[in-house]
Every structure is written in C-alpha cells, then in structure tokens.
Structure 1
Amino acid sequence: MSERHPRILVIAEAAHPEWVSVPLVGWSLAQALRDVADVHLVTQIRNRDAILRAGLVEGRDFTAIDSEALARPMWKLAETLRMGQGKGWTIVQAVSALSYPYFERLVWQRFGPEIARGDYDIVHRITPLSPTAASFLAGKCARAGVPFVLGPLNGGVPWPQGFDDIRRAEREYLAPLRAAYKLLPGRGATLHNAAAILAGSRHTGSELPASARHKVFWLPENGIDPARFNRVAAPGDGPLRACFVGRLVPYKGPDMLLEAAAPLLRDGRMVLDIVGDGPMMPGLRAQADGPGSGVTFHGWQPHEAVQDILSRAHLFAFPSIREFGGGAVLEAMALGVVPLIVDYAGPGELVDDSVGIKVPLGTREAITTRFAAELARLAKDPGALAPMAQAARDRVTQHYHWTRKAEKIARVYDWVLKGRPEPKPDL
C-alpha cells in the first residue's frame, strides 16, 4: 500500500498565474507541489480572481487573506519613496518587510487552530522570496510541533564595483545598507525555527549563518512550465541572430550589447531582436541608428509571444550585471537558445560551459569588449552552437521544469518528516 501524500499548507503571499517574476514563481511552485503533496494554498486577496480564473476552488484548494488594510497604504508608500516605476526595489523590500508580518498574523488567526491540531504535516512559506522577510509563523509552527519549511530564498546580490552610477539611476539608495537586514528582529528566530531552508542562489545560501547550514538546500528560484515555453528554436540559415529580452534599464546592459554588436550589425553578419520596454528605449533606438540597422525593437510583448521571437534566435545575448534568479536565461535555454551572459549572480549559477557562454564580470568597457569578441567569434559559424543548444534544453528538462523542482522539494519534505533519505545539499 503506497504512503499518502503529506498535507502541506503552502504560504505564498505573492502567487498570481497571470503575472511574472515573484508572483509567477509563487503560483508555479505551489501548483507543481500538488503532484507530490496535498496542498492548500494561502495567498493575498489581490490574487484571488486570477486564481479562480485558473480553476482552483476557494476554500477547498486555496484561501485568500485580506491584508489590504495595511498592504495597500504600505505599497503606496513604497511607490512614493522609490520615485519611479520599476526602480528602487530595495526600498520596496524594506517597506514590505514592515507590512508582511501583518499578513502572517492574519494567516495564523485563520489557520493556527488547524496547525496546532495537526491538520497539516508541514507549513511551507514560498513567498516572499526575500531573505529579509522574517516569519512570525516559523516559531508558532515549531511550538505546535509542525515543521516549517522556508524558501526558496533569494536576493541581495551586491552591486558590482564600478557601477555605482547605474545603482543610483535605479534609485537603489539603500543597497549599500542592505546587510543590516541580518540584524532585524525575528531573522535569527526564523532561521532557528525552520526545519529546512531552500536557498534560491549560492549567494543567498552563503549569507546564512553556519548554525543553519546543515538544513540548507540549493534550489534555484526560477523554473519552466513546458506548457508555456514549448517551442524549439529554429534560427535557420543566415547571419547570427541574437535576442535580448528584458526591461530596458541600465543594469541589464542593452546599450552595452548594441555597442558590442555594432560592427557585426553594420556588416550584416548579425541581426538583433530586442524584446522589452523601458526608459532607455529612445536612446537605444538612436544608438541603433534607425531602419536597416539590423536591430528590431519589438517593445513589450505578452509572455506567450516572447517565445515566438526568441525561438528564431541562435543566441540569447544578455549582459545584465545584476540578476537574482535569471528567469529569462532559463526560458532561452528551454527553447534551445544558447545564453551569452555575464558571470555573476543568478545567470552565472545557471550557465556553465556546456550550455552557454560566460564572460567575466568587469568594468563596462571590459564587458563590452568581451561581448564583442564572443559575438564576432560566433558570427563566423552560428550553426556550431547547435550541440550547446541541445545541451541547454536537456539541462532545463532534467532540472528546471516545475515538476522536477517539486520532486526535489518532496525529498526535503521526506527528510523533514522521516529523517530519510537526507537530500544532497544541491538536491
């Protein structure tokens, strides 16, 4: 007789099937866990309608917690302080760290009696992903004798030296002070009371204290839904075709890419698709020097259309200097588009020499020069990228589909509940 699935109360304050970034991570992982556990999702009220549209039944499959009395004014405060759409994320995280405990208190009011009664085998907090957000629930669960799993935690990648101008342009004024979060009340207790901690990046794992290392497991935050990214890249004959996908902001480096590619674009040895929008768009259009430049600006595209454009490329050219997770890199790999990235943070952890190309982190000039050299080399024979493209697809299928990630988390659940078998640190 097979053992029953564990009963998991999944806490994902951000879990939205129609959004991207953290809300999509929360939703995707919570849904994937339904294959390995009996899951009840607890999320914030703003996600309710989209979850209903996705087919879940309120009360049976999920519960929406209305914390808007504090969440709404705190979000407005964060928007005011960061003074720009899509900027000042450290400010947003700082303000969120002040408002999030209210959400957890409401969760405990609703589910505390059930947790204490043993109705759930594990409580697993997926979002917030930020390691700065302490959890009031961790101690409550520990006292009730119910294991609390935390993560994947990710964030806090330091700004690389030499890019302070970009940091200021992004209004990341609090970034130099970020390490102070380790002194915040509740952080130590959260880590102590967690039965297992999933680290979404090697960097985040390295910031955790030595006393917690025995229960830390590496699980990159991003994953791939094969139903959403199901094409296979077919760039065809012709010049090297590269694609950039992302917000058009300085730290993602679209201007560095255009500078590095300029000689190839002028000579017709390369074409470039740029997918995304942002404050740099007018300057990038001027830099590309108009129609016939070999560059196509597609602007913002719905998620399902991105793969149509990306799957025409040989190369995903992405000189970003600060990515926590690197979801766009995984999406390119899933299609069989070889990534060319800067070896730092999330993308640097996802890519090795068998599936992509990394240039060392350096000054702006150094990154641009190295990208130019790699592009020139690849333009001589784009077809030579095919074996690497296949290896990238295989890597994603084996390790980064949401179903695979859920299977790895199930091993952590098994370890937490039964003490066997102990997962490897990298799962």
Structure 2
Amino acid sequence: MRVLLVAPNASARMGGEAILPLHWLRELRALGVDAHLLTHERCRAELEDSPYAEMPISYVADSSGERAVWRFQKGAKGFAWRASGFLLSLLSMMRLGKEVRRKVDAEGFDLIHQVIPVSPRLASPVTHKTVPVVIGPLNGNMRFPDGFAKDYGDGSEAAEEMARGLSAFTHRLLPGKPNAARILVSNQRTEEGLPEGVNRGRVTHFIENGVDLDQWQASSPLPEGPARFIFVGRLVNWKAVDILLDAFSRLDAGETLTICGDGPERGRLERFAKARGLEDRVTFTGRVPQDEITARVADSHVLVLPSLYECGGAVVLEAMAMERAVIASDWGGPSDYVTPETGILIEPTSRQGFSDALANAMRDLGGDMDRIKSMGQAGRKRVEQHFAWKKKGEAMLRIYKEILGGS
C-alpha cells in the first residue's frame, strides 16, 4: 500500500500540530506501509538533520508570499496572529494541492492522507479524481469560556469569526473536505465545525494526539517532596499562566513551579511572579529542547495546564505517560484525556473562581503523594491503552484498508 501524507509543516521544533505528520510517517512505515511525506521547503533543513532524513520526504518550494506571511506571523499577536496563520495555511495548502495531484499521477499512490492543518473550517485543495483522500484527525471549532475572550483572546476570536463566515464560500472553491473519502475528527465539537456538504456517513471520531512511549517512559519513583509543579508550553496569553501564578502564590508549603517554554508573554509573566514574591519558588527555563523536557517532567510531581483555548494538549498525555498526575482546565483537549483517576479537571467559570480552584487543587494534590502516585500509574495505563502511537498507527491502517476495500 502506497500512501502519500500531506502537510504544510512537518517539524518537531515548531510546536503544535507540526509534529503530527512525523509521527504518522514513522508509525505507518513501521507497519509496512509505503508511506511518503510531502511538505514545504521551510522544513527541509530540520528534517535532513534528524532521524527522518532517510525516509521518503519531498518538498514544495515556499513562495515569496508565504515567506512574507511567515515572517509577519512570528511577531504577531491575537487577531493578526490567527488571521496570518489562516492565510499561511491556505497559501501553503493550495501549492501542496497542485503538487499532490502531479505526484500521485506520476508515482502511483493508492491513497492520499492530509494530516494537517487540523482546523475543521479551513478549506482543503487536496483532491484527486480517482485516488481516495483521508483528512485528519481534525480538532478545532474552539471558543473561549464565557467571560475570558476579552482578556485572553487578544482579539483572536474575531479572526475565528471571520474564518467561520468565509467557510462556506472557501469550501465551494476548494472542495477537498466535501469530496474526501473519510474525515477524521477528535470529538463532537470538531464535527460540528465541519462545512456543509460533508457526508456525515464518512466522518469517523479519532483523537489526533498520541504518545511515543519509547520517548515518554514511566518515571518512578517520584522525587522527594515538597510538591513540584510544572507547566510546559508556549507563553502566550490564552495559556493563562498568569492565573496559574496567581493560584500558586497562595500555596505556602515550600512547593515549587517550573515554567518550561518561551513566547511573547514571558517578560510580563516574570514581572507578575516577581511582584508576588515568587522568585525563589518559580523558575522560568525559556525554551527547552524536546529531549530535555522528559527530564524536567520526571523531576516534577504534577503537570498543570490552565489553558483556556487548547484544542489538543499533547503535553497532558506525555505527562500521563511518565506517570505524573495532571491538573488542567476542563475545556478543550484535556477534557478528552483526563479522567478522575488520572488527574483533576477544573472548569473555568470566572477568573477568580478558576484561580481559587487551581490553588485548592494544587494544595490538596500536592500534599498527597500517594494520590499523585496512584494518578500517575492510572495515567500511564490509560495512555498505553488508548493513546500510544503504535496503536494509533494500527487503527489508521484499518481505516485505510476499509477505504481501499480490504486491499
């Protein structure tokens, strides 16, 4: 079976969804699928200096327009960041769509799989007259919790509304999703964001994130107390790290908090922590290479992710795989992963209420190492059963065979 994976970005460094095509390429080839990846030139330097260098990857040259939008987005925030992201994805996918058809006709693939973008509303130009197309797993159609968009959205919801308004028009021009043989969605919220014209009988629920258990291994025993909390992620407004710091400032049993990541909010958050006298208990590491994050998580007891706009949240699954308890917002992706046996979900009802509940959860869980250990063990078991990339690869292969009639 020859499968062409399609993704505008394929990277372990960019963060977010860009790493997903690499996971699928690795796992499908390990299962004997002749999988190839088509991505953009901007990813070449990294991939040719990585374990993927020997795998079949081809590239489409970036246009001057794409490079200009890419440079603009790196310094943008809020509405401008999201709007430029939509534009970049659309420009990149249109160039990839044309190359997909040329490559499939020239090289004879059996199936095309567009892995990202994961947005259910973004139109797709990936189509073919005779070769079936799979799109996803998708994850999106997010909104901020009531009352949080003004302070934490930076106007980004306006970009989302613009995308929703343009959705019907763009999907008529670029009918990849309505024409797809199968669309994979992570949850009901995402399915509700699909465009009109999609045959719901071709929609399958399939969570997009997974865990490489060779990298994220169980980490026992737990380090000695007091409790060590860790946050891992980009320091952007909607991650609500300021609410986490506010909640943490009310703990007084010698607990520590490590903030792993970088981003436009870092300076403000460091000042926020200093104003609350937390310099000796809160550490900002800056950007940490992927292979060092495992050590940071292993040296902690509990991962905390208070994000208010998290479609996925793979870091939650990675912490669970390392037998670490999780405290997260009961909003978006973490709600699909965390159970009462593996962590604590907190509904973001209001800023003060969310901060209070975070403080209480950290205080209660941080003082109970037996409960942390039990949650960590349950988390590892849940990841092994439902989110290991090997199992996800096997499930995807079954979908491919079903579409191709069992071939």
**What amino acid maps onto 2:191 in structure 1?**
G
Paired residue for 1:285?
273
Taking a change above 3 Å as real, the CA distance of residues 70 and 355 of structure 1, as seen in their structure-2 partners, is same
Q: Which structure 1 segments of 5+ residues have no match?
A: 1-5, 421-427
The question of whether the paired residues in 2 share the 8 Å contact of 1:246 and 1:275 is answered with yes
Q: Residue 135 of structure 1: which of 115, 124, 134 is its match?
A: 124
1:66-145 equivalences under 5 Å are: 66-76=61-71, 78=73, 84=76, 88-108=80-100, 110-114=102-106, 119-138=108-127, 141=128, 143-144=129-130
Question: SS where residue 339 of structure 2 aligns?
Answer: coil
Q: Deviations over 1:378-414 (max 9, x none)?
A: 2332222212111111122222222221111111111
1:403 aligns with 2:398: no
1:256 aligns with 2:248: no
Q: Residue 44 of structure 2: which of 29, 45, 48 is its match?
A: 48
Paired residue for 2:162?
177
Q: Deviations over 1:217-236 (max 9, x none)?
A: 22222222233323515433
Taking a change above 3 Å as real, the CA distance of residues 287 and 218 of structure 1, as seen in their structure-2 partners, is farther
**What amino acid maps onto 2:217 in structure 1?**
N
Aligned counterparts of 1:295 and 1:100: Cα–Cα separation in 2: 40
1:10-409 equivalences under 5 Å are: 10-36=5-31, 37-54=33-50, 56=52, 61-76=56-71, 78=73, 84=76, 88-108=80-100, 110-114=102-106, 119-138=108-127, 141=128, 143-144=129-130, 146-169=131-154, 171-186=156-171, 189-208=175-194, 209=196, 212-230=199-217, 232-264=219-251, 266-268=252-254, 270-278=255-263, 279=265, 280-292=268-280, 294-409=281-396
Aligned counterparts of 1:403 and 1:87: Cα–Cα separation in 2: 37
Taking a change above 3 Å as real, the CA distance of residues 200 and 95 of structure 1, as seen in their structure-2 partners, is same
Aligned counterparts of 2:209 and 2:341: Cα–Cα separation in 1: 20
**What amino acid maps onto 1:102 in structure 2?**
M
Amino-acid identity (%): 29
- Most deviating of 299-308 and 362-371: 299-308
Taking a change above 3 Å as real, the CA distance of residues 181 and 334 of structure 1, as seen in their structure-2 partners, is farther
What is the TM-score when the length of structure 1 is the normalising length?
0.85
The question of whether the paired residues in 2 share the 8 Å contact of 1:315 and 1:339 is answered with yes
Question: SS where residue 185 of structure 1 aligns?
Answer: helix
Taking a change above 3 Å as real, the CA distance of residues 381 and 253 of structure 1, as seen in their structure-2 partners, is same
Aligned counterparts of 1:195 and 1:300: Cα–Cα separation in 2: 40
The question of whether the paired residues in 1 share the 8 Å contact of 2:8 and 2:39 is answered with yes
Q: Deviations over 1:13-41 (max 9, x none)?
A: 21124442222112222222212311121
Q: Deviations over 1:203-247 (max 9, x none)?
A: 212323585322222222222223332351543332222111122
Paired residue for 1:424?
none
Q: Deviations over 1:318-358 (max 9, x none)?
A: 21111011111111111111111111111111112122111
Q: CA RMSD, aligned part only?
A: 2.6
**What amino acid maps onto 1:192 in structure 2?**
P
Q: Residue 7 of structure 1: which of 2, 27, 44 is its match?
A: 2
Aligned counterparts of 2:220 and 2:154: Cα–Cα separation in 1: 35
The question of whether the paired residues in 1 share the 8 Å contact of 2:243 and 2:351 is answered with yes
**What amino acid maps onto 1:242 in structure 2?**
F
**What amino acid maps onto 1:7 in structure 2?**
R
What is the TM-score when the length of structure 2 is the normalising length?
0.89
Taking a change above 3 Å as real, the CA distance of residues 273 and 170 of structure 1, as seen in their structure-2 partners, is farther
The question of whether the paired residues in 2 share the 8 Å contact of 1:67 and 1:106 is answered with no
The question of whether the paired residues in 1 share the 8 Å contact of 2:78 and 2:154 is answered with no
Taking a change above 3 Å as real, the CA distance of residues 105 and 283 of structure 1, as seen in their structure-2 partners, is same
Question: SS where residue 255 of structure 1 aligns?
Answer: helix
